[in-house]
Chain A
Amino acid sequence: MLCNECQELISEYIDGAVELGEQVKVERHLADCEPCRAVRDDFLQIVHFSHQLPEHAPATALWPRIRAGVAELQPRLWSRPIRWWAGLRTLNFNLSVPQIAAGAAALVIVISIGVIVTQRENRSFQPIDGKVQQADVVPLSNVDVQQLEKRINSLSRSVEERKNSWDPELRTTFERNLYYIDQSLTECRHQLKDNPADDVSQELMLNAYREKVRLLEGFEKF
């Protein structure tokens, strides 16, 4: 074995990665060759010391920078307005909150035509991306809608009759909130027109109908 052949293998040799046959050849060469031994020994030193390199520390000002960077990432993740059309389906948040992770049975947050966010068996908040996962939501049937509309109509008639005798503040509150709910219903209907199988819109619409009933029942007594 020549020196340059030996030195080609020296790294692998000291790393214990040469085949037995080659290893024997290398060792035989090393026994008789001081320069190659020097290379081997130097490499061993380098490797040895490289295992003992000290740890360096960055400037102490680094942590505040990181903390500030992290604070920017913290939620407030959802602090931008969530618009229905802006792509509920493209929103993709995965926020895991410990109490939820511990398994709160159900946390439901409903924001009108925005988003239903629930935590179910999976341990993170997810906007329902086109799919309502709970088993207890009954898909909206025409019969349901008709019944709700019937109830709403009868309540509305009753409320209309008395509305004029209300305080202005009360009347304004009623009309404003009715408007919000109707807006919600309109948007849900639009969504469902484009996609009748849209579970999310169905649930929101059902909810909005119920809200309307609640509103009317609440004001019926005035």
Chain B
Amino acid sequence: MRVVTCSLLCFALLAVSANSSARFERTYSPRGPAHLSISNINGSIRVIGWDRKSIVARANADPSISIEDQVVGDDITLTTRRRLSLGRANFEVSVPPETSLAIKNVIGRIELQNIIGHVSVNSIDSDVHLVGIDSPSVDVRVTSGDIYFDGKLDEAGSYNLQSMRGDVDVTLPSA
């Protein structure tokens, strides 16, 4: 309920100043472990696992950008569409840790924290920062950018960290 109020307030502010960035805010209540896809072009994406059951997605976007969402069952997709020019959209999303993530971007830092669901990151020019990850599968592909991974590896898991140009820094816990 608080969330709804906030969005209304934000939209109200938007009406006042046409030049301010648009604010996207949504709350989702998946029934089970959700699958969240974010498809962005330019901007930072930050997804953090929290102890609530809901998914709250916020984004600050340039006016030339529109963000659409699509929900099918527990599958949630957020897509950035550029209208006129390549503005930025910065995402801040809070999810239950078991959410699976498919993050797609072109330019901009990607940060995931406290996630135990499957993780897939696909970008061109992004530093990727994965912290507190305890996932059965992690697939990160960037063309350029540094990848920082701090998490646990599952015995039967599969992990792929790829950067054509950048540093890969992996930190694993000792026994």
Contact = CB atoms under 8 A, between A and B. Distances in A.
- Whether chains A and B associate is yes
Given A105-B158, A107-B153, A180 B86 contact: no
Interface string A119-158: 0000000000000000000000000000000000000000
A71 B92 CA distance: 37
A181 interface: yes
Interface of A: 97-100, 102-112, 166-167, 169-170, 173-174, 176-177, 180-181, 184, 207-208, 211, 214-215, 218-219, 222
A144 B11 CA distance: 52
B141 A169 contact: no
A104 B155 contact: yes
Contact of A99 (B41, B152, B166): B152
A103 B155 CA distance: 5
Contacts of A184: 164
A208 B163 CA distance: 11
Interface string B128-150: 00000000000001011000000
Given A98-B173, A109-B161, A180-B143, 17 more contacts: A103-B155, A104-B153, A107-B160, A110-B164, A111-B164, A166-B86, A169-B86, A170-B42, A170-B106, A173-B106, A177-B124, A177-B144, A207-B162, A208-B164, A211-B164, A214-B141, A215-B143
Interface of B: 41-42, 82, 85-86, 106-107, 122, 124-125, 141, 143-144, 152-166, 168, 170, 172-175
A98 B107 contact: no
B118 to A, nearest CB: 14
Main DSSP-derived SS at the B contact region: strand
